[in-house]
Amino acid sequence: MQYAVGLVVLVIVAAGYAVYRGRKRKPVQPQRRTAGNVISMESHRRAKQVASEQQCSSCKRKNGKLIFYAQDNGTVVGLCKDCKDKANKRDLLPL
Ligand SMILES: [Zn+2]
C-alpha cells in the first residue's frame, strides 16, 4: 500500500516537472519583418478597441469595422472593407 502511494506521488511530481520544463522551453515567436516595421502590441490593441468608431484612413468614412494594416514605413492604417482591396494590392500586412 505504501509503495502505491509513493508511486502516485512520484508520478505527480514528474508531471509537474514536465509542465514546468515545457513552459520554460516555450519557443520565441519569430518576427515576420525587419525591426523597422515592428509596432508595439499596445498600440495595436488600443487600435482594435476603438475600431468601430474610427474613420477609414483612406476614404475618411465611418464605414463600420476597420481592418488595420502595417505600412512599409512602420505606421498603421485602418481601412474599411471597401478600401481593403487597395491594401491587398499594395501588399500591406494585415495586423
Ligand atoms: Zn475606406
**Confidence band for 80, pLDDT divided at 50, 70 and 90:** very high
One-letter-per-residue 3-state SS of the chain:
CHHHHHHHHHHHHHHHHHHHHHHHCCCCCCCCCCHHHCCCHHHHHHHHHCCCCCCCCCCCCCCCCCEEEECCCCCEEEECCCCHHHHHHCCCEEC
Dist. CA 62 → ligand 1 center (Å): 8
pLDDT at 52: 53
What's the domain range around 86?
A: 2-94
The cell numbers describing 80, all together, are: 474599411
Higher pLDDT, 12 or 62: 62
pLDDT at 54: 85
The structural domain count of the chain equals: 1
Q: What is the tens place of the pLDDT at every residue in 20-73? A: 777 766 667 766 655 666 778 887 777 665 545 789 999 999 988 899 999 888
Q: Which residues surround ligand 1, an ion (CB under 5 A)?
A: 56, 58-59, 80, 82-83
